[in-house]
């Protein structure tokens, strides 16, 4: 175990792992001692192939945000707001629950939560894969722009609000107003949908959808049968202002 | 607004049909115009009845509100002495964002360029803004649509807006930015989200925003992953972590409750607070919103300054004021009331070439006139600024337009210096409320400076 010191008092390289080749043991950072700042600085200075284990996260905010290298990070415990925010390229696993805004605005790479995620999980994500084994709260995938999200359990209300692109897969149930004002994102739900939001409709599950769903489920390490899902997307009635649509708002 | 029939004479004199009579003719005929139902109002009702949708337009509030015109400076004489007008030094530089960021901005003039998106504006217009601002050592700002390489390349100091839509938002651009501006609202529409109509959602704009080409884009008005000041504090912490605490973080609010909003922005950890008054411009918003929501810039500044002073952070957390800044006098007045810098949007577009009389015939074809054109949402701007049409956009030479903007920014700065020297100030930041008086009771009450020739400030105890 290494203890990271504050960046003001130590050069960044002091925090870098001594062994950075693929087979090296992960660098362990215990947040009971190290600051969030020193952890994130070290991760920003990391190079491809490094791996890290974070212990005692204690629900702290902004853990492992802004990763831009192909590193593997495992967080042993619960995280606060914005864990793995604006993530690129790397692979982050949270063995616990995640707070608000998990992997918000993710660009690429993968973020995996073994427990539940709070609201706004993967909000505005532009790409990459976010896997939540448990449930996700309200606004899961809000304003998503290309991210793929697979949720093992249920999702809360207003999920995929204004979802622009990407795929949201829900193996449990969806809350109220699913996909309200959705653009071109595709939503797959295995369980029930409490209600659909404005301009979101059920759509036929064709071969290409079964195929992409199978890929997403496999990528998330799940064994659900794609044929058990229903697909939802935009009716595209609200893409242009029209007086006859005013009651939809 | 687009006038399709019965244009109000105040809106479109160049296209005025026969029924638009001169005031003298109206009087001669014994006609009486209703103050409540004036011709513009009647035209609005007729337009609403014909179309069934609200009117959308650009620009800011056009109604008359108390403004900087209602303030005057007290030049120096016997009791104060002036600086030599053309010779003695009067500095204009400003440092923004040194509260927490390790790389604050150091600008040569306090006049900055406000956020305007590529999408709302053409790529040439954005480039021209960057060129003009860079030439005089000030900053320009992205908008609701991400950062273009042209804009980054031409802007020495570029502020990257962080908006509810997060269109094009990515950590690489975030780290390229010289400052980050978290946008909670704008003066033209506090509480409203962005809007870009289908005419302007071209392939490139749609690609940057991940939207289908040609749709009417209606951005969200709340951020998707935080609500309220406690969350914002955590959000600011995240952005600082991603940028390794290097980049200044601004919080921009539309002026509605600036005393509370400024205090909460400071509490949330902002380096800079941007307050945009109701005269601030927009590329596309419902007219009813522009004209009826928010408070004038003049009323907003003292409230924001009071909040900063009570928290002991005035001049430490910098205040940027925007909304209706047109002249160096406006710059000086905003700064005398306590702003550290100002931002211009509408005036910058005019400097680039917006509403240029040489396009009079084309404005008339659009049902408008040079000096009145505000249909920025339509994308048919004859001046090539608020458009994505390649032919129209090519009319704006970014080098020449950038030079015009630089000229204008220099004039604003020199005008402000002229006034500051006359008030005996060796730096624009030394201007103070004591240098000002108000012409009207309303302006006196809002700006909290005495009515000219009196020691009376309405609402301030003991001001008699």
Per-residue pLDDT tens for A58-73? 999 999 999 999 999 9
CA of residue B89 relative to chain centroid, distance:
29
When CB atoms are compared, the residue of A81, A120, A165 closest to B234 is A81
- DSSP letter, residue A245: G
- Cβ of B237 within 8 Å of Cβ of A62? The answer is yes
Burial of A13 (0-12, 13-18, 19+ CB in 10 A): exposed
- What local confidence, expressed as pLDDT, does residue B463 receive? 64
Write out the CATH class of domain A53-238: mainly beta
- Cβ of A142 within 8 Å of Cβ of B224? The answer is yes
Could you tell me which residue, B219 or A91, shows the higher pLDDT?
A91
Q: At what angle do helices B328-336 and B398-422 cross, to 10 degrees?
A: 50
Domains, in order of start, for chain B: 13-53 (no CATH), 68-447 (3.20.20.70)
- What local confidence, expressed as pLDDT, does residue B150 receive? 87
- What local confidence, expressed as pLDDT, does residue A246 receive? 66
CA of residue A95 relative to chain centroid, distance:
14
- DSSP letter, residue B443: H
- What local confidence, expressed as pLDDT, does residue A2 receive? 47
Q: Which residue of A has its CA nearest to B237?
A: A62
Probe site for chain B from A107, A162, A186 (most B CB atoms < 10 A)? A162
Distance, in angstroms, between A223 CA and closest chain B CA? 31
Contacts of A184 in chain B (CB under 8 A): 212
- What local confidence, expressed as pLDDT, does residue A6 receive? 42
Contacts of A145 in chain B (CB under 8 A): 166-167, 210
Distance, in angstroms, between B230 CA and closest chain A CA? 12
Contacts of B101 in chain A (CB under 8 A): none
Alpha helices (H) in B52-185, listed in sequence order: 123-135, 149-154, 171-176
Query: CB A208: neighbour CB atoms within 10 A?
Result: 8
Strands (E), chain A: 27-30, 51-55, 72-76, 91-94, 110-113, 129-132, 145-151, 165-170, 186-189, 200-203, 230-234
Is residue A235 over pLDDT 90?
Answer: yes
Q: At what angle do helices B297-310 and B258-267 cross, to 10 degrees?
A: 40
Which of B102, B100, B112 lies closest to B158 in space, CA to CA? B112
- Cβ of A82 within 8 Å of Cβ of B234? The answer is yes
- Secondary element (H or E) of residue A16: none
- What local confidence, expressed as pLDDT, does residue A249 receive? 61
Distance, in angstroms, between B181 CA and closest chain A CA? 17
Question: How far apart are alpha carbons B149 and B54 in whole angstroms?
Answer: 36
When CB atoms are compared, the residue of A101, A146, A242 closest to B210 is A146
- B174: Cβ contacts below 8 Å, ≥ 6 apart: A86, B160, B162, B180, B239, B242, B243, B247
Question: How far apart are alpha carbons B20 and A167 in whole angstroms?
Answer: 57
Question: How far apart are alpha carbons B199 and A107 in whole angstroms?
Answer: 29
- Cβ of A66 within 8 Å of Cβ of B170? The answer is no
Burial of B360 (0-12, 13-18, 19+ CB in 10 A): middle
Distance, in angstroms, between B387 CA and closest chain A CA? 19
Over residues A17-23, the mean pLDDT reads 49
54-113 in chain A: CB under 8 A from chain B:
61-62, 65-66, 68, 80-82, 85-86, 88, 100-101, 104-105, 107
Contacts of A68 in chain B (CB under 8 A): 171-172
Domains of chain A by residue range: 53-238
Residue A11 near chain B (CB below 8 Å): no
Q: What is the pLDDT along chain B (464 residues), one digit of tens a residue?
A: 444 443 344 444 444 444 567 878 888 889 988 999 999 999 999 999 998 889 999 999 999 999 999 999 999 999 999 999 888 999 999 999 999 999 999 999 999 999 999 999 999 999 999 999 999 999 999 999 899 998 899 999 999 999 999 999 999 999 999 999 999 999 999 999 888 888 899 999 999 999 999 988 888 999 999 999 999 999 999 999 999 999 999 999 999 999 999 999 999 999 999 999 999 999 999 999 999 999 999 999 999 999 999 999 999 999 999 999 999 999 999 999 999 999 999 999 999 999 999 999 999 999 999 999 999 999 999 999 999 999 999 999 999 999 999 999 999 999 999 999 999 999 999 999 999 999 999 999 999 999 999 999 998 876 65
- Cβ of A40 within 8 Å of Cβ of B241? The answer is yes
Contacts of B224 in chain A (CB under 8 A): 104, 120, 123-124, 139, 142-143, 161
When CB atoms are compared, the residue of B209, B216, B241 closest to A66 is B241
- A130: Cβ contacts below 8 Å, ≥ 6 apart: A102, A103, A106, A110, A111, A112, A113, A121, A122, A147, A148, A149, A150
Could you tell me which residue, A160 or B197, shows the higher pLDDT?
A160
What's the maximum distance between 2 C-alpha atoms anywhere in chain B?
72
**ipTM score over 0.85, yes or no:** yes
Question: How far apart are alpha carbons A75 and A96 in whole angstroms?
Answer: 8
Q: B41 to each of B44, B46, B132, how far by Cα in Å? A: 5, 9, 39
When CB atoms are compared, the residue of B166, B197, B212 closest to A105 is B166
- What local confidence, expressed as pLDDT, does residue B223 receive? 97
Q: Which residue of A has its CA nearest to B236?
A: A62
Question: How far apart are alpha carbons B370 and A67 in whole angstroms?
Answer: 50
Write the DSSP assignment of B365-397 as a string of letters: HTT--TTT---GGGS--TTSSS---HHHHTTS-
Q: Which residue of A has its CA nearest to B238?
A: A62
Question: How far apart are alpha carbons B242 and A67 in whole angstroms?
Answer: 8
Terminal Cα-to-Cα distance of chain B (whole angstroms): 46
- What local confidence, expressed as pLDDT, does residue B243 receive? 98
Q: Average model confidence (pLDDT) for chain A? A: 91
SS3 of B83-113? CCCCCCCCECCEEECCCCCCCCEEECCCEEE
Note whether B448 and B111 are within 8 A (CB).
Answer: no
Question: How far apart are alpha carbons A180 and A163 in whole angstroms?
Answer: 8
- What local confidence, expressed as pLDDT, does residue A23 receive? 60
Contacts of B244 in chain A (CB under 8 A): 7, 40-41, 44
Burial of A11 (0-12, 13-18, 19+ CB in 10 A): exposed
Contacts of B166 in chain A (CB under 8 A): 105, 123-124, 143, 145
Classify strands A230-234 and A186-189 as parallel, antiparallel or unpaired.
antiparallel
Contacts of A243 in chain B (CB under 8 A): 51-53
Question: How far apart are alpha carbons B397 and B282 in whole angstroms?
Answer: 23
Contacts of A101 in chain B (CB under 8 A): 225-226, 238
Lowest mean pLDDT among A205-214, A240-249, B184-193: A240-249
Interface of B with A (CB under 8 A): 51-53, 165-167, 169-172, 174, 197-198, 209-212, 215-216, 220, 224-226, 231, 234-235, 237-238, 241-245
Is residue A248 over pLDDT 70?
Answer: no
- Cβ of A82 within 8 Å of Cβ of B235? The answer is yes
């Amino acid at each position: 175990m290494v203890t990271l010191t504050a960046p003001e008092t130590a050069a960044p390289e002091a925090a870098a792992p001594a062994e950075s080749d693929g087979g090296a043991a992960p660098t362990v950072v215990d947040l009971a001692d190290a600051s969030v700042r020193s952890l994130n600085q070290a991760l920003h200075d990391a190079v491809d192939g490094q791996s890290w284990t974070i212990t005692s996260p204690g629900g702290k905010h902004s853990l492992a945000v802004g990763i831009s290298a192909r590193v593997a990070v495992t967080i042993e415990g619960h995280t606060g707001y914005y864990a793995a925010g604006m993530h690129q390229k790397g692979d982050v696993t949270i063995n616990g629950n995640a707070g608000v805004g998990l992997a918000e605005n993710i660009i690429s790479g993968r973020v995996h939560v073994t427990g539940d995620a709070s609201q706004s999980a993967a909000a505005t994500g532009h790409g990459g894969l976010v896997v939540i084994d448990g449930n996700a709260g309200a606004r899961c995938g809000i304003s998503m722009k290309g991210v793929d999200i697979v949720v093992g359990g249920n999702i809360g209300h207003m999920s995929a609000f204004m979802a622009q692109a990407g795929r949201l897969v829900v193996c449990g149930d969806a809350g109220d107003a699913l996909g309200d004002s959705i653009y071109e994102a595709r939503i797959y739900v295995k369980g029930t949908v409490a209600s659909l939001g404005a301009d979101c409709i059920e759509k036929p599950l064709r071969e290409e959808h079964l195929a992409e769903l199978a890929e997403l489920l496999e990528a998330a390490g799940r064994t659900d049968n794609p044929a058990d899902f229903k697909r939802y997307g935009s009716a595209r009635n609200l893409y242009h202002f029209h007086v006859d649509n005013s009651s939809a708002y | 607004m687009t006038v399709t029939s019965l244009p109000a004479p105040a809106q479109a004199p160049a296209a005025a049909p026969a029924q638009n009579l001169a005031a003298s003719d109206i009087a001669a005929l014994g006609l009486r115009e209703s103050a409540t139902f004036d011709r513009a109002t009647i035209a609005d009702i007729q337009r609403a009845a014909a179309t069934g949708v609200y009117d959308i337009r650009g620009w800011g509030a056009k109604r008359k509100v108390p403004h900087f015109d209602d303030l005057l400076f007290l030049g120096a004489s016997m009791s104060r002495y002036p600086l030599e007008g053309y010779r003695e030094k009067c500095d204009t530089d400003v440092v923004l964002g040194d509260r927490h960021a390790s790389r604050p901005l150091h600008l040569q003039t306090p006049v900055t360029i406000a956020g305007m998106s590529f999408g709302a504006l053409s790529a040439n217009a954005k480039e021209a803004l960057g060129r003009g601002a860079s030439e005089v050592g000030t900053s320009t700002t992205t908008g609701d649509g991400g950062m273009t390489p042209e804009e980054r390349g031409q802007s020495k100091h570029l502020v990257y807006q962080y908006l509810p839509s997060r269109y094009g938002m990515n950590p690489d651009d975030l780290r390229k930015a010289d400052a980050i501006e978290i946008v909670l609202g704008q003066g033209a529409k506090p509480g409203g989200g962005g809007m870009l109509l289908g005419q302007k959602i071209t392939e490139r704009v749609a690609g940057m925003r991940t939207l289908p080409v040609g749709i009417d884009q209606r951005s969200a008005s709340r951020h998707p992953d935080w609500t309220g000041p406690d969350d914002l504090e955590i959000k600011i912490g995240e952005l600082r972590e991603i940028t390794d605490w290097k980049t200044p973080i601004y919080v921009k609010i539309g002026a509605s409750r600036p005393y509370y909003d400024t205090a909460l922005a400071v509490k949330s950890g902002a380096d800079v607070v941007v307050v945009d008054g109701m005269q601030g411009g927009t590329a596309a918003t419902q007219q009813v919103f522009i004209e009826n929501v928010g408070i004038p810039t003049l009323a907003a500044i003292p409230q924001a300054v009071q909040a900063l002073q009570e928290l002991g952070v005035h001049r430490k957390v910098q205040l940027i004021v925007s909304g209706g800044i047109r002249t160096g006098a406006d710059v000086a007045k905003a700064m005398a009331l306590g702003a550290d810098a100002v931002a211009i949007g509408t005036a910058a577009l005019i400097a680039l070439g917006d509403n240029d009389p040489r396009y009079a015939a084309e404005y008339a074809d659009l049902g408008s006139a040079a000096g009145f054109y505000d249909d920025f949402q339509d994308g048919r701007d004859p001046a090539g600024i608020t458009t994505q049409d390649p032919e129209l956009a090519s009319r704006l030479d970014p080098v020449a337009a950038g030079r015009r903007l630089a000229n204008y920014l220099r004039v604003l700065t020199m005008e402000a210096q002229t006034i500051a020297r006359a008030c005996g100030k060796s730096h624009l930041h030394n201007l103070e409320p004591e240098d000002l008086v108000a012409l009207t009771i309303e302006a006196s009450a809002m700006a909290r400076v005495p009515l000219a020739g009196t020691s009376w400030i309405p609402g301030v105890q003991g001001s008699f």
